[in-house]
Amino acid sequence: MRIPFGVMVLAGALAVAGCGQKGLRVLQKPGPGPDEFLILPSKPLSTPENYASLPAPTPGGSNLTDPDPKSEAVAALGGNPSALVSGNGVPSGDAALVTASSRYGVEPGVRETLASEDAKFRHRNRHLGRIKIVPVDRYEQLYRKQSIDPFAVSEQFRKAGAATPSSPPEEES
């Protein structure tokens, strides 16, 4: 039996296509066009009540019509948007939380340490399925052993007698 040349070319193309080095989760825009999420609408221009109260212009800085999605979200949820401004220190309402969370000490540079340890972990586990015929979530593959099964944890707490909230039924797979 002879295998048609077209089938061999297709099989070879599929095999080579799976060898590309892509990240854990590849989030790319689908085409060469603009990224619509980078364009933020400005607030409408308005006349200030007092021209003397306007801030001094800062080249390259922000202005009053620039949107600030984080502050707007905090305000919409009933929070204090000024708490987001760095340099304000810890708000007095959060002092007890910061004290309790740092009671065993705070490791300086913990983000950099975790980033380097994670890079080493991913480098050690890079052999996990290099050739893929179909798209696969590499993130889920790499960190599967570190994930928590919420149904098992919930059952463990129920057996220990702790009050646990109800949860949706576990999906059958």
Tell me, what's the pLDDT at 1? Answer: 61
Q: What is the pTM of this model?
A: 0.43
Cβ–Cβ contacts within 10 Å for residue 143, how many?
14
| pLDDT block averages, 10 residues each, the chain of length 173 | 76 66 60 71 82 83 79 88 73 84 90 93 74 73 86 92 84 71
Tell me, what's the pLDDT at 85? Answer: 74
Amino acid identity of residue 73, one-letter, is A
What 3-state DSSP class applies to 67? coil
Tell me, what's the pLDDT at 131? Answer: 65
d(CA 22, CA 132): 11
Tell me, what's the pLDDT at 172? Answer: 73
